[in-house]
Amino acid sequence: MPVFSLDPAQKSWCDELRTLAADRLRPLAEKGEPGRINRPLVAALGELGLLDRMLSAGALDLCLLRESLAHECTEAETALALQGLGSHPVLRSGTDEQRARWLPEVAAGRAVAAFALSEPGAGSDAAALALTAVPQDGPDGPGGGDGPGWLLTGEKRWISNAPEADFYTVFARTTPGAGARGVTAFLVPADRPGLTGTPIEMLSPHPIGALALDSVPVSAADVLGEVDRGFRVAMDTLNLFRPSVGAFAVGMAGAALEATLAHTADRTAFGGPLKDLQSVSHQVAEMATRTEAARLLVYAAAEAYDTGAPDVPRRSAMAKLFATETAQYVVDAAVQLHGARALRRGHLLEHLYREVRAPRIYEGATEVQRTIIAKELYG
């Protein structure tokens, strides 16, 4: 399949997803409390089979899921994406026991996952993690496992679904001074002693918080992948989800563009519809062109991931960079063309304006994506 074209089955599936999002998921999203996990919404994603599809999806299917849901209900898109981000390390690097315990619960929407990478002093520079894993030897390791274990101490911040998630993929430093090569990924259930958290109120309504880990016990049975190889687990997850962040952005840009087309066709000013003003029609043409270009970059990056291409990091970074910057531009232009009505609380564009800002920062800020692209080009 060419990356620039979807087949009829894929187009039909996207239409079905948009209908589901509008009819079944948006009403649940509207009942949610800002900054809190909307468990009825997560459960509905499970009942509709979307979480199970997300867990088994390749990169292109994941992008189509996220773009389609975002076009109609950003809250549903985000709830699905956060389940994927938190559970993907378990899916790809977990043991049979870890997968059997948690993945069916995630797919059913009964357990909420979280990806705990960022720290107060380690956001974009993820290799600078300071949360420590202190070795604890013994016949019965911490966390209920056999053999040696660790005690996790430190803080995580800007963690989506914290502090209400049911389990966390936590990245901790097991070898001091080793940079990215001394990080280990652990699966940490939320009920472990010493694990507490607080919510953080943000511009957008997503559930985000900080975690405090005070000698939280983990054992070898909680390791995801290999000891000191956790950075690979993080990067594998981000390489998949960065293009799909771009898909989320494209979905928002598409919704803003669609609203702008309707508004500028109906709204009259200076003796005719807004669309007849060249300054307006040219602006809309630019919005449409950039949105389509972003969509193609996202699809190309997803195709590269699915086919095992060697340039996945570069393509993923390009897709995430261009799509999120484009969405910011398109939503801002849509607000401008709608005028004051778009600033009223509850308007679609007011909602999108708050939603669209964060993706330029999380999962690697725009500046980090440019650094990755340049490194790949010169490498």
Domains delineated in the chain: 8-108 (1.10.540.10), 113-226 (2.40.110.10), 232-378 (1.20.140.10)
For residue 184, report the phi and psi dihedrals to the nearest 5 degrees: -125, 140
Q: How far is CA 103 from CA 84, 112, 117, 236, 351, in A?
A: 10, 10, 20, 18, 32
The amino acid that residue 178 corresponds to is A
Region of residue 104 (left: phi > 0; alpha: psi -120 to 50; beta: else): alpha
CA distance from start to end of the chain? 29
Q: What is the pLDDT of residue 179?
A: 85
Q: How far is CA 29 from CA 39, 68, 165, in A?
A: 10, 16, 18
Q: How far is CA 92 from CA 16, 21, 65, 84, 365, in A?
A: 28, 28, 20, 11, 24
Q: Which of 119, 325, 355, 363 is catalytic?
A: 363
Average of per-residue pLDDT values in the chain: 93
Region of residue 363 (left: phi > 0; alpha: psi -120 to 50; beta: else): left
Active-site residue, 363 included: yes
Task: Please state the three-class secondary structure of the chain as a single string.
Answer: CCCCCCCHHHHHHHHHHHHHHHHHHHHHHHCCCCCCCCHHHHHHHHHCCHHHHHHHCCHHHHHHHHHHHHHHCHHHHHHHHHHHHHHHHHHHHCCHHHHHHHHHHHHHCCCCEEEECCECCECCCHHHCCCEEEEECCCECHHHCECCEEEEEEEEEEEECCCCCCEEEEEEECCCCCHHHHEEEEEEECCCCCEEEEECCCCCCCCEEEEEEEEEEEEHHHEECCCCCHHHHHHHHHHHHHHHHHHHHHHHHHHHHHHHHHHHHHCEECCEEHHHCHHHHHHHHHHHHHHHHHHHHHHHHHHHHHCCCCCHHHHHHHHHHHHHHHHHHHHHHHHHHHHHHHHCCCCHHHHHHHHCCHHHCCCCCHHHHHHHHHHHHHC
The amino acid that residue 226 corresponds to is E
Q: What is the pLDDT of residue 137?
A: 72
> CA angle, 323 as apex, 288 and 274 as ends, to 5°?
25
Q: What is the pLDDT of residue 3?
A: 52
Q: What is the pLDDT of residue 138?
A: 57
Q: What is the pLDDT of residue 139?
A: 47
pLDDT tens figures, 20-42: 999 999 999 999 999 999 999 99
Q: 96 Cβ partners below 8 Å, 6+ apart?
A: none
Pairing of strands 268-269, 272-273: antiparallel
Report the DSSP beta bridge partners of residue 197: 211
CA-closest candidate to residue 168, choices 110, 224, 227: 224
Q: How far is CA 20 from CA 45, 208, 352, in A?
A: 10, 26, 19
The amino acid that residue 221 corresponds to is A
> CA angle, 107 as apex, 103 and 113 as ends, to 5°?
65
Report the DSSP beta bridge partners of residue 113: 167
Low-confidence ranges of the chain (pLDDT < 70): 1-4, 126, 138-147
Q: What is the pLDDT of residue 31?
A: 95
